[in-house]
């Protein structure tokens, strides 16, 4: 399972806080490949008004759901209980009619973190979610591979630009929409 460190979550929240001048400009967030939902919980804790969607394959979502069912509602992880977790394969399910609700919610997100780390997942999001979406910031996990130049060209045509600063480690290449 993937996870995001506390340091990286803090850097991402700082990026979001500095990018969105007014809290009401940021209403919907999706974490694709949510795995261990530290980042989704951190975003929901810092921005309680934001609708947070955690997306992953069925097995991780089932594990998260089972753990949330036994978690006391008054504990320090209470923000996680208000996060919506959904089973969705961003590569194969994106064009299926029965997943239109998830796809439409993704298109309404101003921020998407796509930390799956698979080139095909990035391509699916760029081709099927970003066009005509409200997305202002999208982050991709980059490990040993760079974003292919074709994906970079697609993002540029949609008025996204590579952010000059990267979040350290193997987590994210930030791509921010040009206003």
Is the CA virtual torsion 15, 18, 23, 26 positive or negative? Answer: negative
Q: What is the mean pLDDT of the chain?
A: 82
- Domain of residue 32 covers 6-177
Task: Say how far apart CA 8 and CA 38 lie, in whole Å.
Answer: 10
Domain harbouring 158, CATH code: 3.40.50.150
In this predicted structure, what is the pLDDT of residue 169?
A: 41
Task: Say how far apart CA 86 and CA 175 lie, in whole Å.
Answer: 24
Task: Say how far apart CA 78 and CA 148 lie, in whole Å.
Answer: 39
In a domain, 1, yes or no: no
Q: For 12-21, 69-78, 102-111, 166-175, which range has the lowest pLDDT when averaged over its residues?
A: 166-175
Pairing of strands 137-140, 111-114: parallel
Q: Cβ distance 158 to 130 under 8 Å?
A: yes
Give per-residue pLDDT as tens, 140-167: 876 666 678 888 888 888 888 776 666 6
Q: Which residues contact 143 (CB under 8 A, 6 or more apart)?
A: 117, 170
114: β partners? 32, 140
Strand order in 28-32's β-sheet? 84-87, 51-56, 28-32, 111-114, 137-140, 173-177, 160-162
Q: Cβ distance 13 to 36 under 8 Å?
A: no
In a domain, 59, yes or no: yes
Give per-residue pLDDT as tens, 22-69: 878 899 999 998 988 889 999 999 999 999 999 999 998 998 888 888
Report the domain count for the chain.
Answer: 1
Which H or E run contains 108? none
For residue 73, pLDDT beyond 70? no
In this predicted structure, what is the pLDDT of residue 172?
A: 41
What is the pLDDT confidence band of residue 111, given thresholds at 50, 70 and 90?
Answer: very high
Which H or E run contains 120? helix 119-128
In this predicted structure, what is the pLDDT of residue 145?
A: 62
55: β partners? 32, 86
């Amino acid at each position: 399972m993937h996870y995001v460190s506390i340091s990286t979550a803090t850097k991402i929240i700082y990026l979001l806080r500095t990018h969105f001048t007014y809290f009401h400009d940021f209403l919907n967030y999706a974490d694709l490949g949510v795995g261990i939902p530290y980042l989704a919980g951190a975003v929901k804790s810092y921005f309680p008004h934001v609708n947070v969607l955690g997306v992953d394959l069925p097995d991780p979502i089932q594990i998260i759901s089972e753990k949330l069912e036994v978690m006391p509602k008054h504990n320090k992880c209470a923000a996680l209980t208000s996060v919506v977790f959904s089973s969705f394969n961003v590569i194969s399910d994106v064009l299926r009619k029965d997943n239109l609700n998830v796809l439409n919610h993704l298109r309404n997100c101003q921020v998407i973190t796509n930390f799956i780390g698979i080139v095909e997942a990035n391509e699916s999001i760029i081709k099927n979610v970003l066009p005509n979406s409200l997305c202002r910031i999208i982050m991709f996990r980059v490990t040993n591979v760079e974003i292919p130049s074709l994906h970079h060209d697609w993002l540029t045509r949609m008025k996204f630009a590579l952010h000059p600063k990267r979040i350290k480690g193997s987590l994210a290449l930030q791509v921010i929409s040009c206003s």
